[in-house]
Amino acid sequence: MLKLPEDFIFGGATAAYQAEGATAKDGKGRVAWDTFLEENYWFNAEPASDFYNRYPVDLKLAEEFGVNGIRISIAWSRIFPNGHGEVNEKGVEFYHKVIDEAQKRGVEPFITLHHFDTPEALHKEGDFLNRENIEHFVNYAKFCFEEYGGKVKYWTTFNEIGPIGDGQYLVGKFPPGIKYDFGKVFQSHHNMMLAHAKTVKLFKENGYPGEIGIVHALQTKYPHDPNNPADVRAAELEDIIHNKFILDATFKGEYSKGTMEGVNHIFDANGGSLTISDEDMDILYEAKDLNDFLGINHYMSDWMRGYDGETEIFHNSTGDEGTSAYRIKGVGEKVFDVDVPRTDWDWMIYPQGLYDQIMRVMEEYPNYKKIYVTENGMAYKDEFNDGEIDDQPRIDYIEGYLKAIHQAIEDGANVQGYFVWSLMDVFSWSNGYNKRYGLFYVDFETQERYPKKSAYWYKELAKTGELKG
């Protein structure tokens, strides 16, 4: 029997835009996603899981099922409908109510300030490619620290700077839907890391109570053939795009030689450039030891092969297994034909990848203080049988990854919690409502919640902390 540490957080994760609905209610400002979903997808964010009205139900369920932490994000445009300037009191009040309710239920709120949903007014002006928006973000963060500070223990600046850059400017599945523009990918990564560093510095300089950190999506990249130098290089370059560049910015406060050499190689093959000032680097450097925690979101690993043809990326948004394509000129291509189980959306299930990633953080970035695995979970086309949902594959998935975390802890990593994505079913940004992850099934017509088999399993786990060996 494996036992996770006492005081381990057995959490559940959500995000404002994917859960709340009420996208135009009580003075909320528009976000770029409102328009982007209308124009490009077959679903929208209404009513999502109606968390705006049903948060007491979800928090009660969390309590009943032993979920002792919840990741929620604040929708920037509920507080500042235009991103800055006038404050919307109803929005401010809403998050007071949610935080108070969570605490009443003994469910610790971990608050994210930005989970993909920049106000449309600022997104239109270039999102984080526009440096003015860095200052607007810092001011919004300051407002939140002062408004909610007394009662929030855990703050996260950004959720997944990496996938924001990739989704917005490489794959084009996030607004504004630009593809294959590496200059914008890395500039977005850098500018958002700068916004993070400025916010962390402000948090510490002003002595706000609680802890602050950042959540990175770290998927592990392996060479398809470890003996082939082209495959090894492909894995390295992919890792720089998605992981190493932002980890360097977070914990080294500089981009290492190898990182910049890789970035320049990618620019040479695909075009693009990056603007970084000395002042930017000073700020990153001053913030590098101020992160109280690192959140790791981890869902999959990738196997890479060298590739020099034209760039071509196809995103599997429908769950038709085997339809994904991902090849980048001078970088590499993802190999899907490997002997590893995967979800219907072609995400490779490989718990060892999480172990390796945690160990990598420990070794390469020893000034990390502690880790929470802030998202992990399995998309599954749940079948609803008279209120019973047997999602055994999801249980196996979560158990496998928790064992990897247990092993990492045994081997010296400081991991203090796990948040399953997602607490209840929410919609998926680029896949819609049939890509379910929740412990609680949401009937999106009636908004009724039903505990899945995984919820009962998680409850037992949270009670005992024990994993089957």
Q: Out of 160, 236, 238, 333, which one is annotated catalytic?
A: 160
Q: Are 52 and 45 in contact (CB under 8 A)?
A: no
Q: Is 20 a catalytic residue?
A: no
**Among 119, 163, 319, 451, interactor with ligand BGP by CB under 6 A:** 163
Half-sphere exposure (CA, 13 Å, Cβ side) for 303?
Answer: 16
Q: Is 411 helix (H, G, I), strand (E, B) or coil?
A: coil
Closest to ligand BGP by CB, 259 or 428? 428
Q: To 5 degrees, how large is the angle CA 200–CA 98–CA 203?
A: 10
Residues that contact ligand BGP, how many (by CB under 6 A): 15
* Continuous H helices in 170-276: 182-205, 229-239, 245-247, 257-270
In the complex, what is the shortest distance from the CB of residue 116 to ligand BGP, in angstroms, rounded to a whole number? Answer: 7
Q: Restricting to residues 13-32, which ones interact with ligand BGP according to CB under 6 A?
A: 15, 18
By beta carbon distance, the residue nearest ligand BGP is 428
Q: Restricting to residues 78-97, which ones interact with ligand BGP according to CB under 6 A?
A: none
Eight-state DSSP code of residue 253: S
Own/partner pairs, 148-151, CB within 8 angstroms, 24+ separation: 148/95, 148/96, 148/99, 148/111, 149/208, 149/209, 149/210, 150/209, 151/99, 151/100, 151/103
Residues 427-446: x/- map of binding to ligand BGP (CB under 6 A)?
-xxxx---x-----------
Question: Which one of the spans 93-101, 155-163, 261-269, 285-293 is the region binding ligand BGP (CB under 6 A)?
Answer: 155-163
Q: Which residue carries 């810092």 as its tokens?
A: 138
**Among 160, 231, 239, 280, interactor with ligand BGP by CB under 6 A:** 160
Query: What is the longest distance spanned by two Cα atoms in the chain?
Result: 61
376 belongs to the binding site for ligand BGP (CB under 6 A): no
Question: Which one of the spans 99-107, 139-147, 157-165, 358-366 is the region binding ligand BGP (CB under 6 A)?
Answer: 157-165
Question: Which one of the spans 148-156, 251-259, 353-361, 426-434 is the region binding ligand BGP (CB under 6 A)?
Answer: 426-434
Helix (H) / strand (E) containing 76: helix 76-79
316 belongs to the binding site for ligand BGP (CB under 6 A): no
In the complex, what is the shortest distance from the CB of residue 274 to ligand BGP, in angstroms, rounded to a whole number? Answer: 24
CA-to-CA separations, 268 to 190, 191, 229, 454, in angstroms, rounded = 19, 21, 19, 47
159 belongs to the binding site for ligand BGP (CB under 6 A): yes
157 belongs to the binding site for ligand BGP (CB under 6 A): no
Q: Is 160 a catalytic residue?
A: yes
Count the neighbouring beta carbons within 10 Å of the beta carbon of residue 130: 14
Beta bridge partners of residue 224, listed in sequence order:
none
Which residues carry out catalysis? 160, 375
Residues that bind ligand BGP (CB under 6 A): 15, 18, 159-160, 163, 217, 297, 375, 379, 421, 428-431, 435
